[in-house]
Structure 1
Amino acid sequence: MRYEETEDDSVSPTDLSELLKEGTKESHDRAENTQFVKDFLKGRIKKELFKLATTALYFTYSALEEEMDRNKDNPVFAPLYFPLELHRREALIKDLKYFYGEDWEEKIQCSEATQHYVDRIHHVGQHEPELLVAHAYTRYMGDLSGGQVLKKVAQRALKLPSTEEGIQFYVFDNISNAQQFKQLYRARMNALDLDKNMKERIVEEANRAFRFNMQVFDELDETGKSLTEEAQDGGFPVHDGKGDLRKCPYYADRLGKAGPGCPYHAAVALAKQPLVQLILAACVAVAAGAAAWYVM
């Protein structure tokens, strides 16, 4: 699909995409500031917890895509039906097989918070399909945006293969340009025949979807507190070099032990050497020249 030929850049404050963007801003910020998400973004994610998060996503997307399939010919949702580009259930099954093995179905179960989310999605799909737009928007647009950041963090922190096993959920093979696809998706939403009242209800439902997600995050955070350190498989914690050096997990782990210091501070010290700075400057100059040539 050639996304760039189907998008109109002009939007109005009354368009559904703009109403959703503005109407869910507070919920979006709150979701990003849940402890689970903050720890995840810092690379502090236990492998067992990541597996449980993947399980929650599997049940959520199984419900969502079942209802999307049910309403694929319904004019209130059909324009947003992109199974080839967006559906995540099969990708999540690959991830679960990677983490749990071929008998993955026998080893997972739907958590309480996830079940509440799933129940709401089924209710909407079967009784108020217009509101299904809110759940699809909340999940897929997030996956194509911040989800791509989480993909890189998880791959690095959990030392997952470079071939992307375990993070297939974040891989959209049939979308060549995520930004253009998101523009197309928003244009399709704006073209839906919806009155003001229904648009407001969709925004309200999107905020409800965010709350369900936050409840799942909080549940995962509580579960993570009970996991043993042996379950931690996230590699070295992230340290930005700010504040008290003694609070750096890498440094604290080695207090009283022989061995190298914090890699961040070691790298900063090395970068201050005149010879290293000269080499770095030369590399930057070469890279800049190559970039200029490529643009021309």
Structure 2
Amino acid sequence: MFEALGQRFSNIFSGLRGKISESDLSNFAAEIKTALLESDVAQVVAENFSNQILKIASERADEINKSTNPAQKIFEIVNQQLTQTLGGSARRLRFAKTGPTVILLTGLQGAGKTSLAGKLAKYLKDQGNTPLLVASDLQRPNAVTQLQVVGDSIKVPVFAPEPGNGVGDPVKVAKAGLQFAKDKVHNFVIVDTAGRLGIDQELMQQAINVRDAINPDEIFFVVDAMIGQDAVRTAKAFADGVGFDAVVLTKLDGDARGGAALSIVEITGKPIIFAATGERV
């Protein structure tokens, strides 16, 4: 995900030699900011990150210059800040205290929610769980059929009482799916919801209604890693609307430059819990 950005950082670090002056640090911070912007990190995030690097490095200037490798010390500062921005330690799934653990997937159309639902179900099944997929995306053409195909391919049952394609009530399907999971003793429920090609009130209200009906243990915001500069606007709209607990990045095998990850985590304060490549389960 961060290969291109990592290469840019490496090139910047290679220019740091010998004793580091305040001017060197200012130039370094400016180059870091440029590298972040070129990786599709939002302007405000790039500015905050580079300013923080400059502040910490300036405060530790004596320590940096007394070390045998000043450039390595600065690298450690950048790496620490990058790790902190991305959420620090790994985020783990929250489990329900009683009954099945319910995971609600939200995001724009085309983000890869349905494929992600299958990947997540397979991941949980491989760990000995009994997941159930619930087809609550009743808007997108063939969304229900796609989820059924995904479920069949990994031998995970799909609760799909409605044909979709604009037919059926997603809230009723989600509630009935949760009850079905309880009756059949599934310990995980993954609810796929409808997206749109852009943010609109109808999309958000539908997701809110589903959320309120099933009271999920986890809400994942599924986002295309190639979304670039739109990442912040989209993530903030979902955070302020339906809300979410963690981020899932998809399509990392494409032309993703990593900026979406940094921007979303920094702006929303929510960690990345999973990252996925391709559509194949």
TM-score (structure 1 length as normaliser): 0.25
- The structure that is strand-richer by fraction is 2
Q: Which of structures 1 and 2 has the larger relative contact order (alpha carbons within 8 angstroms, sep 6+)?
A: 1
